[in-house]
Chain A
Amino acid sequence: MSTLRMMQQIAFHPYDFFENIQEAGRIKWSQGIVLILLVFVARMVAILLTSFIFQTREPFEISAFHEFIWIIVPWISFCISNWAVSTILNGEGKFKELLIGSAFTLVPYIFMIIPIALLSQLLSFNEKGIYSFLTITTFLWIGWLLLLGLKILHDFEIGKLIWITLITIVGILIIWFVVILMYALMNQFYNFFADIVKELRMRA
């Protein structure tokens, strides 16, 4: 099944989609990369197209690199955290399924955000409600797909699903904390040796 057809399927038949991707050979790593790139492109296009009224940032405050980081880091850290937590707690999902499946849950964003940005060109402040309603609906849709995906992939009940999701969020925070800590320590470590080398060269 082509990626496009799968995108269509997750939007309209999410149950079937998550059942299907558990079959061997159904998903490819490349699909995840393609989807995340699509999300990134959709986001950048939406930023360009959004009307001045609904733009919350100045153009100089927007960096394509940062936008990309803000998509890819939450995605990967969510998948790692969720996979780690649910593997311990008897989840059946494989890492590949989680990674690709959660990338597919962003499909509503890819489809919706550009039309919303175009629509914003026709709206004034008074119709802000329409704009925020559509945006919030998109994100709720994504959230629902994500939870549904986790439930089917891991074969969890609702209670356990909520519990695991909460732990996953804590896990994400821990991952970020550790990464930032490691970065700081590595930086110190590097600077220490750099200073030693400098000192030696000065004395030589």
Chain B
Amino acid sequence: MSGTSHAHELQPVGNSHAGEVGKAANQQVVIDCNIRELYYGPFKAVRDTIIPVKKNTITAFIGPSGCGKSTVLRCLNRMNDLVRGFRFEGHVHFRGKDIYHPSVDAVAVRRYIGMVFQQPNPFATSIFNNVAFGLRLNNFKGDKHAKVEEALRRAALWDEVKDKLHSSGLALSGGQQQRLCIARAIATEPEVLLMDEPCSALDPVATRKVEELMLELKTKFTIAIVTHNLHQALRVADLTGFLYVDTTQGGRTGYLVEFGDSKQLFEEPKEKHTRDYIRGEFS
């Protein structure tokens, strides 16, 4: 399955709209995600979801609870490997390489495709050690202090913590903890940052800060985000995929209904399901 998939670049994929060529649509595809069927044991969780994640853009996954948006996101750096009974048909290509190929090490994949979780999850150690974690994982030999400072500055946290780098990361507020986790994730300069509802545990002020941060970060990284907040998707995402739950075949299987430029998807959705879902939120 690995190999020649650079050909996927710039192709209009799946349900995306070739006509609506925004700036984001011209970017190179970093992750080409094509999930035909995804199972947890006997349970079919997701089907027919094709999402190209493009370089230096923010791609949002929206949809009702249980539609599999987090599942899809976790497929992109093989976090689902931790779930027993997980298997899927299809492929996920990262820069043209199939990350599910038997020869690929999931651990290495996660070093290129970092993750920020729903709950802020700093380690029970100092702020400095939290950010330096990834550097230590990779046996980074250079100037750790400079790297840590750079990551904390990028995560817009440096000014708040520069005087207490050696106090516990757990002592920070929820919003600060989440930015610390973002700093930790970007310290090793991954290609792609996956964010699984990064703001759902935060208050509006902290949410705003993290959103501003995402817009900053996309100049250097590529971001894919799962969010429950449609306003957030509209504010930050260049491209948005809408997933919905299909209950017609007995189970509850999520699938991609529509994918495209965020503005276009929110203002004039092509599909009825999308229209209904977005109208419910915005009216």
Do they bind each other? no
